Amino acid sequence: MTTTNPSEGVALLQSLVRVPSVSGDEVACRDLLAQWLTDRGLPVRIIGRNIVSEAVGANGADGPGLLLCSHIDVVPVGAGWTQDPWSGDVVDGRVLGRGSNDAKSSVAAMAVAAAALHGSDLPGRIGLAFVCDEETGGEGAEILGDDLPACDAVVVGEPTGLDVCPGQRGLLRATLHVEGRACHASRPWEGVNALTLAAKDILAVNELALPGKDELLGPPTMVATVVSGGTRPNVLAGSATIEIDGRPTPDCDNQVLLSLLEQAVDARVEVRSNRFVPVHTPHDEAVVVAALSASPSGVLRGFGGVSDLHHLRHLPGVVMGPGTSAASHAPDEWVAVEQVDAAVRAYTDLARAFLASQQTLTGATP
């Protein structure tokens, strides 16, 4: 069954999905969204491949601010699709297509909520940042800095089923370089098998007892994900590499995790990425309280991956958006129509609740 009269949020999402925006190629999608916001009276600034805007209440130009941020870039289509990845069609209650779930549904819902509140009795301001390069890093949220509207808290849109996630683990990526000595496979005693050494290091990593389990974010983790080595079936491997994925927590942070890795293995450790640190907003922060009051699920949990919350960690913040992580980056990506519509209501209620709480704190009159 195909929906013929979509809501404003779903219609915008369909339009966004129909404009491919793989990381690095977001301009057409950026321009479509910028025009949509302009048509509804919101001021728009184009900064690279990013959009910055602001919705202001009738009496709230100088009031508190809440930043809504999500990304317009998507991952490449990949194999396994059974339908047009850029269709944006609504079938059986689902919007179909690459980016429908991650994270153009958040973008559409945030835009519609902000546009509806612009010029209303909103007691403050809603900043908007719709950014590029979230999937790859580069020229998105990490470069905006002072170009963002001044705000008191942030909501980052990622697929959480509208659960409230006031934190995420960090990320440590490393390569282990294992050096052996090649020789003919029929005389292994003349060499040193790098694969055997690699196996020992993999087991050493696997057997690490990592401290620092977090009540919200869960335990830190560190695992081997890719192993490469050897040249021919009849040659003992002279070298090998092991890719390591580590997810630190506040009490087992990036440096602790790296130190434990270096102590556990004999291989040379090359750090590939160590910039994403754990982020944890206290549960009693106003933005967390407001998000919980607005969330249809009422669930508080940690976010399972990493997001632009890292780049905006100078603000108290949550990750919260429509969709499910299971559909992200997958073939035949989809998001439920009811989730998109629920997200518009949730972002609207969250903004009102948060900004009202900040007005109360400052003693201002809405």
Residues of the chain with pLDDT under 70: 1-4, 59-60, 361-366
Percent of the chain with pLDDT over 70: 96
The pLDDT of residue 1 is: 41
Of 276, 294, 314, the residue that ends a domain is 276
Note whether residue 215 is domain-resident.
yes
Same domain, 258 and 296: no
Domain, as residue range, for 242: 171-276
* Other CB atoms within 10 Å distance of the CB of residue 366: 16
Same domain, 291 and 249: no
DSSP for residue 45:
E
DSSP for residue 186:
T
Same domain, 221 and 148: no
The pLDDT of residue 359 is: 79
The pLDDT of residue 362 is: 59
Strands 317-319 and 153-156: parallel
Same domain, 46 and 59: yes
Note whether residue 49 is domain-resident.
yes
The pLDDT of residue 230 is: 96
The pLDDT of residue 60 is: 64
Note whether residue 183 is domain-resident.
yes
Strands 167-168 and 279-280: antiparallel
The pLDDT of residue 4 is: 66
Note whether residue 3 is domain-resident.
no
The pLDDT of residue 57 is: 86
Task: Give the global pTM.
Answer: 0.92
Of 257, 276, 295, the residue that ends a domain is 276
What is the tens place of the pLDDT at every residue in 39-64?
A: 999 999 999 999 999 999 876 677 89
In angstroms, what CA-CA distances link 170 with 40, 47, 193, 318, 324? Answer: 38, 27, 34, 15, 21
d(CA 237, CA 28): 48
Same domain, 129 and 252: no
Tokens 């209440």 sit on residue: 57
The pLDDT of residue 203 is: 98
Q: Closest by alpha carbon to 133, among 4, 337, 11, 308?
A: 308
Of 252, 276, 300, the residue that ends a domain is 276
| CATH number of the domain enclosing 147 | 3.40.630.10
The pLDDT of residue 3 is: 46
d(CA 111, CA 9): 8
